[in-house]
Chain A
């Protein structure tokens, strides 16, 4: 014991709030490796989310519906504006776009199986359509991305809807990167690139820029597919009021709005954590934009980014969305970050629940990898069944809430059924703070 401690007692070392352990580790890592941190997944920091909203269940002024007995409709139709064949889904939960390349063929197949069992759609990603995925998906949305990897007219016509990707929530304004480690022969062949090299995906489309040119691109895609298929437009949440308006003006049937919590296969951590806005703060402006144009419910709105439970689904719908998309939650349902591989996660320097190095292709769960041995760990039939179970559970949860609010249709949930728990959430969603009639800023 030092003389000082004898006098004053133990004085613990003080850590800087600014230069906290994580920040210091990042600086050391950048200095040592000369590369920024690339990882998968969505934002990890805490941001305002659906947890900050609560439903006002029926009590005396309203009457609830009987759980399990009285019907609560869940179906939704996407693409009613121009498409001859809109998508009829049994549940308002869709599977978001994830590429073959980022995911193994088994994982893509499992997503298709699970979605089909639950009566909903799944979506391709950057890298083209695999036969496994098409074969197992009753409703498949084909993403049309800047890279156009594997793009061809036959697959376009095989799709049930086309999703033009402008951006995603994890990185609005950014392109993509599939690192060389994950480029197997099959992935390389589908993308017309050599094996083992980093594959960049552009941030802008090669043959159009801006909504005025997009309108012509949408015309071309409709002409290519006989005006049958719904045309979705996917955007990352940043300026949703303007972006949704431009999507509508360019002629989209469906707008997919992805918040910052939405995942990515591989992007700079600085992008994931610092660009874009939480989905909670984006929905009301997107809906307002549709309402101002007289297009709410005519152009459908699908929101994604951090949807985990039936409560999240119900809240998104109540705020005005027509459906939600799930990505990360679907991967977890398949078996991503499963604690039974804890020893292997430890060996990779992480732990089950935190594993986000999806870009490395060493996923113990066999999902975000192209390694044949690892991929073989995922049984597409079993994993598909798990996903279907999960989709059904969150739909039941959403119905439970809707019935409690007296709704015979999930889509009859409305903002007035909600209150906010925090001032931040109240301001972002234009809902009153719980127990008050106060909406910040109004």
Chain B
């Protein structure tokens, strides 16, 4: 049970405003999901480097020192930038696997929320407006982003239980609805080497998309087959390095409204979330059809 906002920017002049626009869109969805909020933002990238967004299950942590220790241990330079309870470690591409292994072994409180050349994820328990302010989401620029406000259904209200979920490089997914076969699918994914870290149904959906992409399928095809393989009610918004997709289940009870202009494509659970976007009065406003994948790419 949730609110979703997504913004895919086409024109470069709006890119500095990504965080600000997305924060405003999310603000209108606070009542749909007062438990927690999260933002996935596709920002700048550096050639040959990968970003890991980290948080600690114990709350705040001295990421500066952790970065220095990790840097020494790997013998490779790691850049760290901190936001509230999260930190982004920028690691040389060839060191990513080692880096993640080191974290698993030496810093058991740390969870890797995302991995990718562009993707950063910020999510935390609390009222969505407060979460956005504490992470200073407004200051983040980028090409596209997805935000989520959560009203928890069956899994715990925790940082790691908040959306978006990322289960593959530069991939993320948010969800509004409730899946009814996620327990079986979770067991299936485990056998395929994808181990969901939470009890959240959405993480299973994210893992499903990741598995299909790993099998070499295009995102559009993965979304299409999810209509058959995932049971229950859902509206998904997914992000990849270059793109942004939307899918609703065949019954399509959960709301979805989109606005497209020459400058952007925006998605929201409710129209009031879109009212602050520049030029929205003249945008093409429409609802995505059920069981039909929509996808935009740079």
Contacts and interface: CB of A to CB of B under 8 A. Distances in A.
B151 A209 contact: no
B280 to A, nearest CB: 21
Interface residues of B, number: 20
Contacts of A343: none
Contacts of A239: 154
Given A209-B233, A212-B2, A215-B32, A246 B254 contact: no
Interface in B222-236: 233
A211 B255 contact: no
B70 interface: no
Nearest to B29: A212
B3 interface: yes
Interface SS of chain A: helix, strand, loop or mixed? helix
B1 interface: yes
A67 interface: no
Interface in A174-228: 204, 209-213, 215
A215 B32 CA distance: 8
Nearest to B233: A209
Contact of A246 (B151, B253, B255): B151
A249 B34 contact: yes
B154 A211 contact: no
Could you say which of B151, B154, B176, B178 has the most chain A C-beta atoms within 10 Å of its C-beta? B151
A341 interface: no
B34 A204 contact: no
A243 to B, nearest CB: 9
A245 B233 CA distance: 20
B177 interface: yes
B150 to A, nearest CB: 9
Main secondary structure on chain B at its contact with chain A?
loop
B201 to A, nearest CB: 12
Contact of B233 (A210, A211, A246, A249): A210
Nearest to B3: A212
A215 B233 contact: no
Contacts of B151: 211-212, 246, 249
A210 B154 contact: no
A242 B1 CA distance: 12
B31 A210 contact: no
Contact of B153 (A204, A213, A215, A242): A242
B154 A209 contact: no
B1 to A, nearest CB: 4
A425 to B, nearest CB: 25
B231 to A, nearest CB: 14
B161 to A, nearest CB: 13
B34 A209 contact: no
B32 A209 contact: no
Nearest to A219: B31
A162 to B, nearest CB: 20
B3 A210 contact: no
Contact-size category for A? 10 to 19
A209 B251 CA distance: 11
Given A239-B154, A246-B1, A246-B151, A209 B253 contact: yes
B253 A212 contact: no
A239 B152 CA distance: 14
Contacts of B154: 239, 242
Q: Which of B2, B33, B255, B269 has the most CB of A within 10 A?
A: B255
A210 B31 CA distance: 13
Given A239-B154, A242-B153, A210 B34 contact: no
Interface in B1-52: 1-3, 31-35
B291 to A, nearest CB: 16
Contacts of B254: 209-210, 213
Interface string B181-199: 0000000000000000000
A240 to B, nearest CB: 12
Contacts of B152: 245
Contacts of A215: 31-32
Contacts of A209: 233, 253-254
Contacts of B34: 249
B32 to A, nearest CB: 4
Contacts of A210: 1, 176-178, 233, 253-254
Contacts of B233: 209-210
Contacts of A211: 1, 151, 153
Interface in A233-286: 239, 242, 245-246, 249
Contacts of B32: 212, 215
A212 B33 contact: yes
Q: A204, A211, A242: which has the most chain B beta carbons within 10 Å?
A: A211
Nearest to A242: B154
A164 to B, nearest CB: 15
A335 B255 CA distance: 48
Interface in B218-271: 233, 253-255, 269
Contacts of B2: 212
B101 to A, nearest CB: 36
Nearest to B32: A212
A61 to B, nearest CB: 39
A135 B116 CA distance: 67
Interface string B139-160: 0000000000001111000000
A286 to B, nearest CB: 15
Given A239-B154, A246-B1, A246-B151, A213 B255 contact: yes
A204 B233 CA distance: 12
Contacts of B1: 210-212, 246, 249
Interface string A10-39: 000000000000000000000000000000
Given A212-B1, A246-B151, A249-B35, 15 more contacts: A204-B253, A209-B254, A210-B233, A210-B254, A211-B1, A212-B3, A212-B32, A212-B33, A212-B269, A213-B254, A242-B153, A242-B154, A246-B1, A246-B153, A249-B151
The 9 closest A-B pairs by CB, nearest first: A209-B253, A212-B32, A212-B1, A211-B1, A210-B1, A242-B154, A249-B151, A212-B151, A211-B151
Interface of B: 1-3, 31-35, 151-154, 176-178, 233, 253-255, 269
16 contacts: A204-B253, A209-B253, A210-B176, A210-B177, A210-B233, A212-B2, A212-B151, A213-B254, A215-B31, A239-B154, A242-B154, A246-B1, A246-B151, A246-B153, A249-B1, A249-B34
Interface of A: 204, 209-213, 215, 239, 242, 245-246, 249
